[in-house]
Structure 1
Amino acid sequence: MVGTARTGERAGDPPELMIDLGAVRDDPVDVEPRRPFTWRRLRPVALGLVAALLLTTGGSGLPPEPILSEIASFPHPPARQQAAFPDRGMLLTEDRLFIAAPEQGDLIWRVSAYELDRGRRVWTYDLPVWPGTKLELQHRAGILLLTGPRPDRTGMRTVAVDDRTGRERWSLPNDVQSLGDDGTALAIDMVFPDDPALADSPEGRSSSYASPWGTFYGGPPLGRVVTGIDLGTGQVRWRSELLSSAVIDVRVLFSDGTLSRMPDRDYDLAVRTADGAAELRDPRTGAVRHRFPTVNPGALQLGGDLVLVRHNSLEVTAYSTQTYRQVWSRPVRDDTFLGFCSSDELICESGPQGAWTIDRADGKRLWPIPREHAIAEAGGHLIEFVPQGTMRPLRTVDPLTGAPRLHLMNWKRADVMASGRVLFVNPETFSGPTWLGVLRPGWVAPVALGMVPVGVSDCQLTAKVIACTTTDNALRIWRYRTPVQAEDE
């Protein structure tokens, strides 16, 4: 018997669907009726289907769908601008959000810690400051470091507070930079002559030298002093003599501590001594590891296994930080920069004639960077940006040739985090809704997370959490999960 199913006769309806039902026999009257299907009868069939699915998928379940869910939101008025610095700091961890904002006529910075799951403020800490100055936040090994100018503008100061309780652990009159979660920190402080210039005089400012703490001096800095510090106690381990300059690894400067460790070696500290030598020193003890055969070097740069030394503005030499041997040397123009241009030791050259990436192995040019474009390393990728008010991602490129790999023009903004993660943003309008995506180390391409109903800015991203200030004068926190398995999960 053949049956016909009609779906409609009106104009515009889909065509008739013919279904072959096969031959149908009338059951004898005396045959016992079939029992109705119940869960008890269907359960063995369902289990068999599940088993078959598991076998066809290699014995593993399907990956979870992308999830983006808001976990907290609270009012957050727009930041004011003072002394060319934003007057609010934000730092996000996996379970805390730290916010610093000026209060009481800008005479103090109020630092607040929020619990992510409920958006509840768990503690506050007030730090007296000079009005209109900037506060830097760092988080390492259960400690929040607050660094800014002293209230009398005589230098910098760092206060360490417990990230769980907000209680002060120690305070030092230094500009402290943490090296990671191993309990080591360094302070690199500028030393100026004792005769400050008239800071309120425009004429004095034009002929004077500005310090990081906002005071103007009549002469250039005398040099820098490096101090080794125990991060947990604030105890000073060692202090250097007056140095001409001192730099730490670029990966330490631009890392949140999760990716900055070298696999087989401790950090280095590169210094230029007062007598005109370039040295590598141990940041834990201050001991000299090696003195390079160079006289009166210029700028020093340090990145992983290379230290770059500029000689008389006309030559750059690369030395190995492991063998201490010269790797390469090449001439440069006095109006050309050649050095590290990314947190992952990417070397670039830029000047009036253009910009290029540089081969770390021999110092030669690899490929040209298009004019006014920018290159940043993130998540194992090189991302090319096009300046359009904000840095809009254009594509990822091959690090050896510059050839395009993955186009990113569907995203209007990419915020590169210190950890190597990238938050991609694509707003439909200024006020939202906004699509969010994430790229993490080890991933091949960004993963779209979903859409949030507002416009976002000033975002931070961790392995599982996103926090952004929004166009509706709020600070919102989302927890995210993706179907991609990453190395840091």
Structure 2
Amino acid sequence: MTLIELDRDTPLDPGAGTAPPPHRYRVLGLLLGTVLTVLLGGAAPHTGTVWEYLGLVPSSAGVDAPIQLAGGRLFTIAPAGDRRVLTAWEPRPEPARVWSTDLPPDGTTSPGGVFSPLRVRQHGDVVLVTTGPATTALDSRTGRIRWTTPSRVTVGEGGIVGDGGTGLVTERIFRDGTLYDQDSGDPGMLYFSADGQPHTEPPIRTEVRGIDLDTGRVRWTAAPSGSVTVDLVPGEQPAVLITASDRLTLHDARTGGLLRETALPRHGGAGPSTSDVIGDVALVGYDEAELRAGYDTRTLEPLWTRPARAEMDPPSCTGLLCAGSRDATAVLDSRTGRTAWALTSAADLDLAGGRVLRTDPATGGPVGLLDPATGESLADLSGWADTVESFADRTLLLRRDNEGGGQAFGVIRPGRPEVRILGVADLDGEECGGDDRYLVCRDLRGLRIWAYRV
């Protein structure tokens, strides 16, 4: 076992001066290794790990909003009257302001000055900022506003749908005169538009638009009747899958051209009520008939149909196809609909970076990493308190209270199921976020930033 020093805030020091003879520290090293193995859930530190404290973004910069990392930068938001100011920070070599931009109002600010949640994503040289139902696109170099839309923009795997960067906007169109009078309190079914407005009738059509991420220009529009769901199908030929009450249609993400379509059968006298995509399988649910069907997302060929009985406590699965209950979860093969593996104790499952993260529903703490095909254990995470909010697709960051004070952090890299110890930070709070290069944690003074590499 190779040992490294876990400094609190400074870089890991390779050591200076003359080292004592090996026999002086061999026993102490073995004892320390045993303690680390027990305290850190079986994880052992590895050589080559860099853990470097970069500095602080002060609270005066507006750091009360949730932590936002995108494109290797930290973003903060500060209120300025009825506006909000977005600031981009470059973490290295120390936190430095890159630019600040006034965001346009999104129309959702309450009279008490409470703003809607904000999300920042970067795709190429465009920063997308979603506030409430609206999206603003900024130039990543200057912060200049390129375009805005009153709708949310969806992007695909890696941030792009199709060549050149195409996002998707979905808007339900309702018949005039169907807006619900919220003061009336009248009973009945309600149908909601993208901006949250209730209507008394379902939409007459849904407009799906492909948006050029650089300019905001509409590249193409599809307008199926009624209410539909829209999913992205990544690959060499990115596509858009639209599920309506009577059919599946597949469109080219770059042009909107129709690639293929297939009719959906009715079960129990009713059409489908839910839809989702897991990997390369489209899932279509029939709630009234308690059935679920799988279709190939490329060919639209039917793959299987199986019962889907409603459970009082359904399994909690993200990115996986599951059946059973939360206390006895069966993970299904999405191509066949048959059980691949099962758990006999309560668990929440989340597919992350090609591995299944199992957490304890009672505590929310991580339990272990599982193989998605077999359910076999890849890593024991029971020594860790929780996961850190991740802004990276395949990196998993972990946190626990350090016995000597502060917080200890570890990372699991893609293709490497073992936990690598990063270091210890002198923190009292537990709100942190990270990507594959940086860890950011909230402190009484502001946001503190560490760089890491393994």
Asked if Structure 1 and Structure 2 have the same fold, meaning a TM-score greater than 0.5 normalized by the shorter chain, the answer is yes
Separation in 1, partners of 2:186, 2:442 = 39
Separation in 2, partners of 1:297, 1:420 = 33
Matched residue SS, 2:433: strand
1:123 to 99, 102, 108: 99
Separation in 2, partners of 1:126, 1:477 = 24
**Aligned amino acid, residue 158 of structure 1:** T
| Shift in Å, 1:448 | 0.6
| Aligned counterpart, 1:163 | 140
1:299 to 251, 256, 274: 274
| Shift in Å, 1:120 | 2.0
Would the aligned equivalents of 1:178 and 1:231 in 2 still touch at CA under 8 Å? no
Q: For 1:314-463, what aligned pairs fall within 5 Å after superposition?
A: 314-334=290-310, 341-343=317-319, 346-351=320-325, 354-370=328-344, 372-389=346-363, 391-415=364-388, 417=390, 418-428=392-402, 433-463=406-436
Would the aligned equivalents of 1:246 and 1:269 in 2 still touch at CA under 8 Å? no
1:191 to 169, 173, 195: 173
Matched residue SS, 1:175: coil
2:247 is the alignment partner of 1:277: yes
**Aligned amino acid, residue 427 of structure 2:** V
**Aligned amino acid, residue 382 of structure 2:** M
| Shift in Å, 1:74 | 2.1
Separation in 1, partners of 2:432, 2:405 = 15
1:144 to 112, 127, 130: 127
Using a 3 Å threshold, how does the CA distance of structure 1 residues 374 and 277 change in structure 2: closer, same or farther? Answer: same
Would the aligned equivalents of 1:88 and 1:102 in 2 still touch at CA under 8 Å? no
**Aligned amino acid, residue 306 of structure 1:** V
| Aligned counterpart, 2:59 | 76
2:250 is the alignment partner of 1:268: no
Matched residue SS, 2:393: coil
Higher RCO (C-alpha under 8 Å, 6+ residues apart) = 2
Would the aligned equivalents of 2:311 and 2:325 in 1 still touch at CA under 8 Å? yes
Higher mean Cα deviation, 169-178 or 190-199? 190-199
| Aligned counterpart, 2:152 | 175
**Aligned amino acid, residue 317 of structure 1:** A
Separation in 2, partners of 1:357, 1:405 = 17
Matched residue SS, 2:361: strand
Higher mean Cα deviation, 434-443 or 317-326? 317-326
Using a 3 Å threshold, how does the CA distance of structure 1 residues 94 and 302 change in structure 2: closer, same or farther? Answer: closer
Separation in 2, partners of 1:369, 1:103 = 51
2:402 is the alignment partner of 1:465: no
Would the aligned equivalents of 1:305 and 1:322 in 2 still touch at CA under 8 Å? yes
Matched residue SS, 2:360: strand
Separation in 2, partners of 1:427, 1:457 = 9
**Aligned amino acid, residue 116 of structure 1:** P
In the TM superposition, what whole-angstrom CA distance separates every residue of 1:22-51 from its partner, at most 9, and x where no partner exists? xxxxxxxxxxxxxxxxxxxxxxxxxxxxxx
Q: For 1:205-216, what aligned pairs fall within 5 Å after superposition?
A: 208-209=190-191, 211-216=193-198
Separation in 2, partners of 1:65, 1:299 = 48
1:96 to 55, 63, 73: 73
Higher mean Cα deviation, 107-116 or 290-299? 290-299
Matched residue SS, 2:388: strand
Would the aligned equivalents of 1:185 and 1:228 in 2 still touch at CA under 8 Å? yes
Would the aligned equivalents of 1:124 and 1:166 in 2 still touch at CA under 8 Å? yes
Question: How high is the sequence identity, in percent, across the aligned residues?
Answer: 28
2:216 to 207, 226, 234: 234
Would the aligned equivalents of 1:379 and 1:443 in 2 still touch at CA under 8 Å? no
Higher mean Cα deviation, 302-311 or 213-222? 213-222
Would the aligned equivalents of 2:412 and 2:420 in 1 still touch at CA under 8 Å? yes
| Shift in Å, 1:211 | 4.7
Using a 3 Å threshold, how does the CA distance of structure 1 residues 225 and 321 change in structure 2: closer, same or farther? Answer: same
Using a 3 Å threshold, how does the CA distance of structure 1 residues 382 and 320 change in structure 2: closer, same or farther? Answer: same
Task: Kindly tell me the number of residue pairs found equivalent between the two proteins.
Answer: 387
Separation in 1, partners of 2:189, 2:418 = 50
Would the aligned equivalents of 1:148 and 1:213 in 2 still touch at CA under 8 Å? no
| Shift in Å, 1:457 | 3.8
Please report the TM-score for the alignment, with normalisation by the length of structure 1.
0.70
Structure label with greater radius of gyration:
1
Would the aligned equivalents of 1:100 and 1:109 in 2 still touch at CA under 8 Å? yes
In the TM superposition, what whole-angstrom CA distance separates every residue of 1:143-172 from its partner, at most 9, and x where no partner exists? 1112234xxxxxx33211011211011122
